[in-house]
Structure 1
Amino acid sequence: MNFIQTIETMKTVRDYKNKPVPADMLRELIARTQATEGLLSDKTFSIRVIEDGPGFFEMMNGKAGYFGKMIEAPQYVALFDNIRPGAYENSGYLMEFLRLNAWHLELGTCWLSMDAPLDLTAWVSEPVTGTAVALVAIGYTDSGLFRQDILKTSSRMPLSDLVYLEKWNQRCPLEELETRGLSEILFYGKLAPSWGNRQPWRFILHREKVYLTVPLNTDEKRARTDAGIVMLYVQQAAHDRGMPMNWALLEPDESLRQALSLPDSETLIASLS
């Protein structure tokens, strides 16, 4: 799969045909995702398919969805993991990887947010441990008459509003990004989906690294999941361009926060080098 070509056409799908995705296609998607390197060294996560789409839709109505509206689909995919530092970032990274591969196979998907912790273990056929930390609808796109099934790419903030140089709120000239060879990969980063299309993340070029921050003053789980998604886009775009750059999740570091002049509302998530 050419990553850059895929994200240039990737869209969120809200309407699906009443036709289940074949089991072998789902197994292939899960196998690809489980084989990829995530953001955590240990692979404690599990991915499961929820086959009873209609029943799951009825149960989840009002408890999960896209902007509060549950999306009806023939099947759903859930990612389970143990809650620990980096779990939500890793789930965003991995589930978005699955979504991109699904799009490459001409399948539609839609991120679904869970308003409260939900026990989904009874809905999967294989035993699973951990907590459901990511959930998507999956199926064949229904593009019939009167359908508005595919969300067009929403407007995005310009790169100049997303990238700072050396410290918080200090704009980074485009020439600096081009000199460092970062303008293209960060451009693809800004195409990453986020809850409510808020683009909550910011990049800070500090010395030889790129730092990623998100605000945690609203919904921490969503913010960390969004961070994982944008990390996938940036890292894979770099790899597609022959740049061996990788993210490393960060532990709290007050001295680094001060060096970057971070406001209290922002949390350091990771560094890219």
Structure 2
Amino acid sequence: MLMTNFLQKRKSVRNFKKDTVPRDSLENIKLLMDELDREESEINFSLYENGKIVAEGLRGKAGYAGVMIEAPHYIALDIKNDKPLNILKGGYCLEKLNTKIVDLDLDTCWITVDEVDHETKKAIFGENGTGIDYLIAIGYGQKKKFFDPEVTSSRLTVEEIVFADTLGNPISIETLENYGVFDVFSSVRFAPSHKNFQPWRFVLKGSVVEAYMVKSDEDTRSLIDMGVILFYMEEMLKTIGIEKKWTIDLKDAGKYYYIGSFTL
């Protein structure tokens, strides 16, 4: 399967060198953060340059399998109002920032801290830091590894995430190829999601793509994942000459939430 250049660049590093990021790169990251803060008033990013304080404070409370990801720097995401739309935008903006950081030849890793107690967050991030639920670790990985579908855990097939006209109605590969989006949907399957839940579903109605999210007990994290996938879709569609944005219209749809639409 052919992967787009965009998704091939997607990588996650869990072992960072102790080397700090040069000052000019950190300043560039601050400019990117400020730009996104201006775009979305309910989203706020903060850079914590002394990563040792963050790592030590979260040791045993966050990370992967109870092991904190230690990095020289961290970026924190604070969603000021936890409305579903803002959570969705949070995932979109965090991955947009993450991708721009990767473009600076740096390595990154998402860290979820939504289950960390408020007192710990206050001690690490300050009195106003209790709303911080996601971090990006930044630095130089000890070993870079590209986002490779051959080494990821099981993924749903294209036919299991993309449908024709209505959810559950099979779509043919030929139809997706006729619209030039088969490779895009093949690639987007390998995007990361919490517990590999892969909550995204798409319906192709003529030249319109509708996005849905499977309901679960962890809708907040799934909304973050949906924000990420919407960003991926936009970026990958750009590689085939389609430069448009999703129209978001969150609403209940039975076993799913309707997220929005995109015109090819």
Q: TM-score range by the shorter chain?
A: 0.7 to 0.9
Partner of 2:115: 116
Q: Supply the AA of the counterpart residue of 1:59.
A: G
Farther off after superposition, 216-225 or 176-185: 176-185
Matches of 1:203 and 1:159 in 2, distance apart? 10
Root-mean-square deviation (CA), in Å? 2.8
- Per the TM alignment, residue 191 of structure 1 is displaced from its structure 2 partner at its CA by 3.0
Partner of 1:96: 95
Contact 1:212–1:271 at 8 Å: present in 2 too?
Answer: yes
Contact 2:37–2:45 at 8 Å: present in 1 too?
Answer: no
- Per the TM alignment, residue 230 of structure 1 is displaced from its structure 2 partner at its CA by 0.6
- The structure-2 alpha-carbon separation of the partners of 1:27 and 1:67, relative to structure 1 and needing over 3 Å to count, comes to farther
% identity of equivalent residues = 27
- The structure-2 alpha-carbon separation of the partners of 1:201 and 1:136, relative to structure 1 and needing over 3 Å to count, comes to same
Deviations 1:75-96, CA, capped at 9 Å, x for gaps: 1111223122312211111111
Matches of 1:213 and 1:177 in 2, distance apart? 18
What is the SS of the residue equivalent to 2:250? coil
Matches of 1:130 and 1:247 in 2, distance apart? 30
Contact 2:201–2:214 at 8 Å: present in 1 too?
Answer: no
How many residues matched? 253
Matches of 2:108 and 2:16 in 1, distance apart? 9
Matches of 1:195 and 1:28 in 2, distance apart? 29
Matches of 1:34 and 1:191 in 2, distance apart? 30
Q: Supply the AA of the counterpart residue of 2:8.
A: E
Deviations 1:223-259, CA, capped at 9 Å, x for gaps: 0000011101101111232213321221326xxx3xx
Deviations 1:26-80, CA, capped at 9 Å, x for gaps: 2313423543699xx6433221112232221222123322354321111111122
TM normalised by structure 2 equals 0.83
Unaligned runs of 5+ in 2: none
Partner of 1:201: 200
Q: Supply the AA of the counterpart residue of 1:15.
A: N
Partner of 1:183: 182
Unaligned runs of 5+ in 1: 144-148, 258-263
